[in-house]
Every structure is written in C-alpha cells, then in structure tokens.
C-alpha cells in the first residue's frame, strides 16, 4: 500500500520528499558532502558542504549546467560518476548523479551526491610519502646487504689467509728444528775436531782453528734458532689472536647479512601492503 501511495504522488510532491531526505542525509553523513536536486531544466534544491566555495549565492532556479554529470544522466538515464577538481569549488569531490524516474519510468530529474576527497587525498599523499620512504629505505638496505655480503666474503678470505700463515709458521718451525739439529751436530763435530787437533800437536794447529770456527758457527746458529723460534712463537700468538677476532667478525658479518636480507624482505612486503592500501584509498 505504501508503494502505491508513492506512485500516486505528483512530480512536485516526489521532489519535495527527495529534498527532505537529501537534507537529512546531508546533515547526518559524517564526510563532507554536497547534494544537488534538479528537474530536467533547473536546480530545485542544493545542500553545500562547509568547505565548498559557493560562487553563486542562490542556485535554486538556475539552469542546470551544460556539462558534467547532470546533462549526461538526463540524456542517457545512466548513473554517472566523475571527479570534480579542487580548482572549481575549493575542494575536490567525487560526484555521482542518479536519474529520478516517474511512474512511467521517464526521467524527470536528477539527484547528485558529491563526497569530499580531502581525506582520501591526504591519505593518498601520506601513502605516497610512506611508499617513497620505503623505496629509499629498500635501496639503502639493499646497498647495506651488498656491503655486508662483500664484507663477509673478504673476512672469509682473510680467515683463509690467516690459516695459511699458521701453516707457514708450522713449516718454519720444522725448518728451524732441522737447523737446530744441524747446529748441535756441527757443535759436536767441532768439539771432536778440536780434540783431534790437540792430539795432533803442532801439526794440528791449523785444523784446531777450523774446528773452533765450526764450533762458534754451530753455537751462533743454535742461538739464532732459539731467537727465531721465540719470534715465531710471538708471531704465532698474534696470528692466533687475530684469527679469533676474524672468526668473530666473520660470524657478525654473516649475522648482519642474514638480518639485512630479512629487513629487505620486510620492506618489500611493506611496499606491497602500501600499494594495496593505495588501491583501496582510490576506490573509497
């Protein structure tokens, strides 16, 4: 019964009811909005948002615009949506125009709802800023990851070189042990030669001089071996200390590289989420 009564309304009564509903809707809608009601020729009523710059004090009775959603909807009967730029009314709007039909489904007017895009624009600008910052951070993190990988490779190389040095030190110790053995044998030979020279008497004096030189050379060699071994021992201690530090640095560089990769992955996921949020903001 209610629908039948509505169909019995005149066009003027129908426009009046739509106007009352539009006024209520304009007040209760939380987002900044503008509503315009028209027949096929002129503006019947309007409710402007508080941020709209009204260039005409009174629009009622004014001819409908020759461009935009309203004339297209009046002509085609289609619901038309478009973006009204900020330059026209001081704030950007997303406007949707719907045809009003009579009981014979003839177009008798339109109602347009324009919702402010100020919050959406602010959100999109914020998303753009975040996205740009995330991109810069991603680039920086990738550079850091590359540096960490380079550091890790170089530390590993230094560690390998340090191990090679330790092997060389071990080989040097073996050579010194051999030299020390030769020195001991030479000293014994020199001592035996001196004994034999003493037994030979006058004829063994020349041989005694040679024997003494051999003995001195053996003693000097043994002394040099001891000193060199002490030096190598010190070097060995230093190298072992260095190797422990390099191993610790190697562990840190590996950890840093792994952490950087995780950060990069997180930033990439964040970039995807930001793009999704941007897409949603464009739909709102």
* pLDDT(241) > 90: no
Residues in a beta bridge with 38: 43, 110
Do 85 and 179 lie in a common domain?
no
Do 272 and 139 lie in a common domain?
yes
96 confidence band (pLDDT: 50, 70, 90): very high
Do 92 and 137 lie in a common domain?
no
Do 270 and 229 lie in a common domain?
yes
Report the CATH number that the domain containing residue 264 is assigned in CATH: 1.10.287.950
Please state, in angstroms and rounded to a whole number, the distance separating the CA atoms of residues 174 and 33: 92
Do 163 and 57 lie in a common domain?
no
Q: What is the mean pLDDT of residues 263-272?
A: 72
Residue 243 structural domain: 122-283
Q: What does the pLDDT look like over 165-222, one tens digit per residue?
A: 878 888 877 887 877 777 667 666 666 766 766 766 666 556 666 666 776 776 777 7
* pLDDT greater at residue 194 or residue 58: 58
Do 74 and 56 lie in a common domain?
yes
DSSP summary character for residue 202: G
Report the CATH number that the domain containing residue 111 is assigned in CATH: 3.30.450.20
Q: Which two tokens stand for residue 99?
A: 């045809």
The CA distances from residue 268 to 4, 138, 260, 264, in Å, are 59, 7, 12, 6
Q: Determine the 3-state secondary structure of 97 from DSSP.
A: strand
Give the residue from 140, 115, 108, 124 showing the smallest Cα distance to 37: 108
H or E element: which one contains 197? helix 118-200
The predicted pLDDT at position 44 comes to 94
* pLDDT(1) > 50: no
């Amino acid at each position: 019964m209610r629908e039948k009564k509505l169909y019995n309304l005149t066009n003027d009564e129908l426009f009046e009811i739509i106007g009352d509903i539009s006024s209520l809707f304009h007040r209760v809608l939380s987002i900044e909005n503008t509503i315009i009601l028209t027949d096929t020729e002129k503006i019947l009523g309007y409710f402007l948002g508080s941020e709209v710059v009204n260039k005409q004090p009174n629009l009622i009775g004014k001819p409908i615009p020759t461009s935009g959603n309203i004339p297209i909807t009046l002509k085609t009967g289609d619901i038309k949506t478009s973006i009204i730029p900020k330059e026209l009314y001081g704030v950007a709007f997303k406007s949707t125009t719907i045809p009003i039909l009579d009981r014979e489904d003839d177009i008798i007017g339109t109602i347009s709802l324009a919702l402010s895009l100020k919050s959406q624009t602010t959100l999109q600008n914020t998303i753009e800023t975040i996205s740009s910052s995330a991109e810069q951070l991603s680039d920086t993190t990738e550079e850091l990851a590359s540096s960490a990988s380079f550091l890790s490779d170089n530390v590993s190389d230094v560690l390998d070189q340090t191990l090679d040095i330790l092997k060389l030190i071990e080989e040097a110790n073996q050579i010194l042990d051999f030299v020390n053995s030769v020195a001991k044998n030479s000293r014994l030979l020199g001592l035996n030669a001196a004994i034999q020279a003493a037994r030979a008497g006058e004829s063994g004096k020349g041989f005694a001089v040679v024997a003494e030189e051999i003995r001195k050379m053996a003693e000097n060699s043994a002394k040099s071996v001891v000193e060199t071994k002490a030096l190598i021992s010190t070097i060995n201690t230093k190298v072992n200390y260095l190797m422990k530090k390099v191993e610790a640095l190697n562990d840190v560089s590996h950890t840093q590289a792994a952490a950087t990769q995780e950060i990069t992955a997180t930033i990439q996921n964040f970039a995807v989420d930001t793009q999704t949020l941007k897409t949603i903001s464009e739909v709102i």
